[in-house]
């Protein structure tokens, strides 16, 4: 009985870290697949699609993860085959500087307007 | 003055937007990326259709000739419409056709070839579709033209038609 | 066939009436009497009647499967159920344009009836501006998108309606959405009219606020219905994808919400006059722009209408004509009177509303730039990129944190000049929110810091509005309810996102799949035949850790016309969570691919949007009472 208990505890200890790393792996894979556009679907990610294309991409992503590729390397591999638009996250590159900067600039601009509108009044009143 | 400047800026900006949208309307929306730089064909190993042994890509593309890779499947309906045109192309001496059987059942694929004819000098099997992804294909049917430097110079998504066949004939002259 | 004729000529008559209306009202403009000529009201009503008749004739053709009508042929089928034959009327490009005309003419007529105490010239000008829009749409329909084209010889059968559009939520989504979306036209017209008359004042603010609220409530509900449809119908359990068509409905909502808050300032202090006009113009412009983006074929998305560049060019030119007209009117007629009252004390309700607008405009810019940037990039440098959910999430979510904080503090501030009252109770509420959040999230998520901050602020807003609702009993309950709804929305979305789980696996009949939280048993698969599709129904039993079993029956449907295979998820909804199961075929073998999701608090997302709209409705009705 005692030996059985020890055996079970050991077994759990051994399997638990595997479970954890599997979960993390799954989460990572889901994250990557959700970021890849299914090119023959209309507006679906590879994660959500059951099409042939999605099936093949899922296999390839699996393969690349097992080869140890990092997230950005997987995206780069796919971008090289299909172009930038296969990845949903537009990333920060020479094509997308304005994309990311414009809203932030507008935010600062708006802040400046409000600052002008309210601070001047504070100075006037005091 | 300030009013005039701001209205001027607004007018310029709006005209710019109008022109962009107008041009955007006339752009095709098919989202098929053009081949900007000629890419090398990927290096791969694939199972041969007839012999079941593995072939190396270098061996498949070893001749100093144009190659056409055609992705097809027995369950693909548009493939049947383009098949006769492929049969015609296969008679051309300056090009060899390589078939890539995509996500197919081997028996069904063999029946397809027996029924409609074999335009391919070699057929390789892509059971899970990953080899097609290596070529940057979306699905089936899809055709790639490879030049003598082993670079992909043209990609046709969808079945080929007579106009495309004429284009191909010009390229491979 | 007669319906075709009636429908078509009603449209022509409607267009002629527009011209007549413009003529008569221009003549009436300089007339000294205080009330508009009765003829104007009658003619406006008559115009509405003609559009209704046209709309009804199209419905009639759909219901009778009259395939001599090209639109009916393209979008309907004899085996479609009656409900979807009717709703198919507005599920296509031409029919939905009739819906546009219906709302345009309805709103101007209602405006004329409900604005009898307003200055006559202002009312006439509103009518004129609205008629410009109406004429534009009549021309658009008659010249490029006629719903009453003849087909000869008459086909026996139609091409059918895409089955994923055959859903109750999607059937009522366009009418409700359009009442909001197109309803912003009246705000556009009336603000331009008011500008020319120098009538942007407290009285005008009080009057136009009703219309802003009506549009806003319908737009909120319309967007919600679209999300509900996406959740139930599109098969992967999401409800918002930052798809261009969704973004296009969200943008006017953002400006409309900003406008709503500005009108409050205008009512009280006759300030922010230029900004109110700009927002009014922008809101309807965004509606028109959205129409352009989704109907012209310039963008690809899950639910674009049929693409046609000629239609695109018409709308593009029409859109820019309207922009030019409105900006022209604004720059010519607007004068900056009362400049001194245009500066606010930094700690006041006015400033908090300015801050609200600041954030709203930022969110708008993110959505707008994200949606149209790929077009600009493609035209300018022939590069094609995707702007997907990661972009929107990265730029919007962090800014929600200060936004929610400001939203908690803003309504407590007084007008003109204020102090923060009850500082201690606020701080205590904040600390309670943080502690509560920390304990809830401790074991649930890896992104602990980020989520803790976000959820704490949402809780803070929740508790402060709850307190305002029950303890303080302020006199603008509508607003408090709406803010409460918003906090609940953020909380539901966050908790749903943190706590949702999904299992994807391949399974065949008779098999059991074990996972950490329970087991899924694929009991059997049965077939069912309906009038326009065949279905494979999977009977699944899901047993959780405590032994409780629920049954889910997702379907795979093969529709007959057009031939499309869809996956219909089965969803069991409770207040606590939604259990979502979808089934797909796997190529070439007897296995089925299933996705099982447990989504906590899913239904609270819909409840909170309903609460949000209800708050708006309360504000709308309260004004009536007070009068």
Give the model confidence (pLDDT) of C570-617 as tens digits.
Answer: 999 999 999 999 998 887 778 899 999 999 999 999 999 999 999 999
Residue-by-residue DSSP string for C190-246: HHHHHHHTT--SHHHHHHHHHHHHHHHHHHHHHHHHHHHHHHHHSSSS-S----HHH
Would you call A83 and B33 a contact, using CB atoms and an 8 Å cutoff?
yes
Residues of A in contact with B128 (CB under 8 A): 55-56, 59
Work out the pLDDT band at A16, boundaries 50, 70, 90. very low
- pLDDT of amino acid B57: 84
Highest mean pLDDT among B106-115, C364-373, C476-485: C364-373
CATH value at residue A21: 1.10.8.640
What's the pLDDT tens digit per position in B92-137? Answer: 888 899 999 999 989 999 999 999 999 999 999 998 899 999 998 9
Q: What's the number of domains chain B is made of?
A: 1
Task: Find, in chain A, the residue whose alpha carbon is nearest to that of B126.
Answer: A56
Domain holding A83, by residue range, is 2-89
Q: Predicted confidence band at C63 (pLDDT cuts at 50, 70, 90)? A: very high
CB contact under 8 A, A39 and B138: yes
Cβ separation C298–B29 shorter than 8 A: yes
Domain identity same for A59 and A112: no
CB contact under 8 A, B103 and C307: no
Q: Which of C303, C586, B101 is nearest to A50 (CA)?
A: C586
Identify the domain containing residue B144 by its residue range.
39-171
**Higher pLDDT residue, C134 or B10?**
C134
Q: What is the pLDDT of residues A34-50, one digit of tens each?
A: 999 998 887 789 998 88
Q: Are C518 and C501 in contact (CB under 8 A)?
A: no
Q: Do A30 and A56 fall into the same domain?
A: yes
Residue B2 has pLDDT above 70, yes or no: no
Beta carbons of B130 and A39 less than 8 Å apart: no
Provide the pLDDT confidence category of residue B34 given band limits of 50, 70 and 90: low
Share the mean pLDDT of chain C: 89
- To the nearest 10 degrees (0 to 180), the angle between helices C309-333 and C184-196 is 30
State the Cα–Cα distance between residues A81 and B135, nearest whole angstrom. 7
The count of structural domains within chain A is: 2
In the predicted model, what is the mean pLDDT of residues C52-58? 96
β-strands B122-126, B95-102: how paired?
A: parallel
> Do A96 and A79 lie in a common domain?
no
B134 in a structural domain = yes
A102 and A72 assigned to the same domain: no
Q: Using 50, 70 and 90 to split pLDDT, how confident is the model at A6?
A: low
Instruction: Write the CA distances from C478 to C145, C214, C614, integer angstroms.
Output: 41, 13, 8
Chains that touch B (3 or more CB pairs under 8 A): A, C
Q: Is the pLDDT of residue C336 over 70?
A: no
pLDDT-derived band at C102 (thresholds 50, 70, 90) equals: very high
State residue A3's pLDDT score: 64
Average pLDDT rounded to a whole number, residues C217-222: 97
DSSP string across A39-54: TTSSS-BTTT--SHHH
Q: E-assigned strands of C496-588?
A: 501-507, 512-515, 518-529, 533-544, 549-552, 555-559, 565-568, 570-573, 577-585
pLDDT of residue C369: 96
Look up the ipTM and state it. Answer: 0.88
The answer on A106 and A55 residing in a single domain is no
Q: Can you tell me the mean pLDDT for C374-382?
A: 90
Q: Give A73 or C627, the one with higher predicted confidence.
A: A73
Residue A15: predicted pLDDT = 40
State whether C346 and A86 contact (CB < 8 Å).
no
The reply to whether residue A52 touches residue B103, judged by beta carbons under 8 angstroms, is yes
Chain C interface residues (partner B, CB cutoff 8 A): 292, 296-300, 307, 309, 312-313, 316, 320, 323-324, 327, 331, 375-376, 378-380, 382, 384, 587-588
Output the furthest CA–CA distance in chain A (Å, rounded): 86
pLDDT, mean of residues B18-32: 76
Place C214 in a pLDDT band, splitting at 50, 70 and 90: very high
> Is C391 at the interface with chain A, CB within 8 A?
yes
Q: What is the largest CA-CA distance in chain C?
A: 84
Residue C148 gets which letter from DSSP? T
Q: A107 and A78, same structural domain?
A: no
Across the range C395-400, mean pLDDT stands at: 96
Highest mean pLDDT among A98-112, C20-34, C531-545: A98-112
Cβ contacts of C389 on chain A, cutoff 8 Å = 34, 88
Task: Give the H or E element holding residue B48.
Answer: strand B45-48
Q: How far is B64 from chain C (nearest CA, A)?
A: 34
**Nearest-by-Cβ selection for C365 from A48, A90, A106:** A106
Summarize pLDDT for C422-445 with one digit per residue, the tens.
788 888 889 998 998 888 888 777
Q: Which of A115, A96, A32, A117 is nearest to A66 (CA)?
A: A32
């Amino acid at each position: 009985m005692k030996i059985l208990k020890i055996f079970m505890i050991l077994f759990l200890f051994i399997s638990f870290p595997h479970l954890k790393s599997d979960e993390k792996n799954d989460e990572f894979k889901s994250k990557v697949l959700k970021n890849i556009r299914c090119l023959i679907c209309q507006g679906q990610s590879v994660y959500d699609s059951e099409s042939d294309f999605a099936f093949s991409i899922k296999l390839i992503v699996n393969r690349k993860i097992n080869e140890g590729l990092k997230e950005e390397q997987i995206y780069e591999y796919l971008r090289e085959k299909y172009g930038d638009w296969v990845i949903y996250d537009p990333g920060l590159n020479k094509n997308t500087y304005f994309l990311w900067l414009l809203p932030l600039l507008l935010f600062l601009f708006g802040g400046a307007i409000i600052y002008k509108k309210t601070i001047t009044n504070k100075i006037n009143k005091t | 003055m300030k009013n005039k400047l701001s209205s001027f800026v607004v007018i310029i900006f709006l005209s710019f937007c109008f022109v962009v949208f107008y041009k955007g309307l006339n752009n095709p929306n098919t989202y098929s990326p053009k081949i900007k730089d000629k890419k090398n064909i990927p290096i791969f190993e694939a199972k041969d259709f007839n012999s079941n042994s593995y072939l190396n890509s270098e061996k498949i593309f070893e001749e100093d000739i144009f190659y056409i890779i055609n992705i097809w499947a027995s369950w693909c309906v548009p493939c049947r419409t383009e098949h006769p045109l492929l049969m015609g192309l296969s008679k051309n001496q300056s090009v060899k056709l390589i078939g890539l059987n995509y996500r197919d059942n081997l028996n069904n694929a063999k029946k397809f070839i027996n029924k409609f004819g074999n335009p391919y000098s070699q057929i390789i099997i892509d059971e899970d579709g990953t080899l097609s992804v290596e070529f940057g294909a979306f699905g089936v049917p899809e055709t790639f033209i490879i030049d003598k430097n082993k670079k992909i110079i043209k990609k046709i998504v969808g079945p080929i038609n007579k106009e495309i066949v004429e284009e191909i004939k010009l390229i491979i002259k | 066939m007669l319906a075709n004729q009636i429908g078509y000529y009603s449209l022509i008559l409607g267009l002629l009436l527009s011209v007549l209306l413009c003529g008569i009202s221009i003549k009436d403009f300089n007339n000294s009497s205080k009330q508009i000529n009765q003829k104007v009201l009658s003619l406006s009503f008559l115009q509405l009647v003609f559009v209704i008749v046209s709309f009804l004739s199209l419905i009639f053709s759909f219901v009778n499967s009259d395939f001599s009508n090209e639109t009916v042929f393209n979008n309907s089928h004899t085996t479609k159920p009656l409900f979807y034959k009717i709703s198919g009327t507005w599920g296509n490009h031409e029919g939905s344009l009739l819906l546009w005309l219906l709302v345009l003419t309805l709103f101007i007529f209602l405006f004329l009836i409900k604005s009898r105490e307003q200055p006559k010239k202002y009312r006439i000008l509103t009518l004129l501006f609205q008629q410009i829009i109406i004429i534009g749409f009549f021309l658009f329909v008659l010249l490029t998108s006629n719903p009453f084209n003849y087909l000869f010889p008459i086909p026996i059968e139609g091409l059918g309606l895409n089955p994923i559009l055959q859903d109750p939520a999607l059937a009522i989504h366009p009418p409700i959405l359009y009442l909001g979306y197109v309803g912003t036209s009246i705000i556009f017209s009336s603000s331009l009219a008011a500008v020319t008359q120098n009538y942007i004042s407290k009285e005008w603010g009080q009057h136009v606020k009703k219309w802003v609220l009506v549009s806003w409530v319908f737009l909120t509900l319309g967007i919600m219905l679209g999300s509900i449809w996406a959740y139930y119908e599109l098969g992967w359990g999401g409800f918002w994808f930052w798809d261009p068509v969704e973004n296009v409905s969200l943008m006017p909502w953002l400006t409309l919400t900003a406008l709503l808050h500005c009108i409050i300032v205008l009512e009280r202090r006759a300030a922010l006059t230029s900004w109110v006009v700009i927002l009014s113009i922008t809101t309807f412009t965004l509606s028109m722009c959205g129409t352009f983006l989704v109907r012209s074929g310039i963008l690809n998305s899950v639910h674009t209408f049929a693409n046609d560049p000629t239609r695109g060019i018409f709308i593009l030119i029409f859109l820019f004509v309207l922009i030019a007209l409105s900006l022209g009117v604004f720059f010519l007629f607007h004068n900056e009177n009362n400049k001194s009252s245009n500066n606010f004390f930094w700690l006041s309700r006015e400033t908090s509303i300015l801050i609200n607008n600041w954030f709203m405009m930022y969110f708008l810019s993110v959505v707008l730039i994200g949606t149209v940037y790929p077009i600009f990039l493609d035209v300018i440098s022939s590069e094609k990129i995707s702007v997907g959910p990661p972009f929107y999430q990265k730029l919007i979510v962090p800014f929600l944190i200060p936004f929610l904080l400001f939203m908690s503090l803003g309504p407590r501030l007084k007008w003109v000049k204020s102090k923060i009252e009850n500082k201690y109770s606020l701080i205590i509420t904040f600390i309670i929110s943080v502690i509560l959040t920390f304990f809830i999230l401790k074991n649930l998520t890896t992104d602990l810091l980020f989520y803790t901050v976000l959820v704490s602020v949402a809780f803070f807003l929740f508790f402060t509005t709850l307190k305002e609702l029950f303890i303080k009993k302020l006199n603008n309950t509508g607003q408090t309810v709406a803010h409460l709804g918003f906090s609940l929305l953020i909380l539901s979305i966050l908790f749903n996102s943190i706590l949702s789980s999904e299992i994807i696996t391949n399974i065949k009949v008779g098999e059991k799949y074990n996972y950490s939280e329970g087991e899924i048993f694929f009991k059997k698969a049965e077939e069912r035949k309906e009038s326009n599709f065949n279905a494979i129904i999977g009977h699944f039993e899901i047993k959780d850790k405590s032994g409780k079993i629920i049954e889910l029956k997702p379907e795979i449907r093969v529709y007959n016309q057009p031939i499309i295979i869809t996956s219909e998820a089965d969803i069991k909804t409770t207040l606590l969570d939604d259990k979502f199961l979808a089934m797909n075929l796997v190529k070439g073998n007897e296995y089925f691919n299933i996705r099982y999701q447990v989504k906590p608090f899913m239904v609270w997302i819909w409840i909170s949007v309903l609460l949000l709209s209800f708050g708006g409705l309360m504000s709308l009705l309260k004004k009536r009472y007070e009068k």
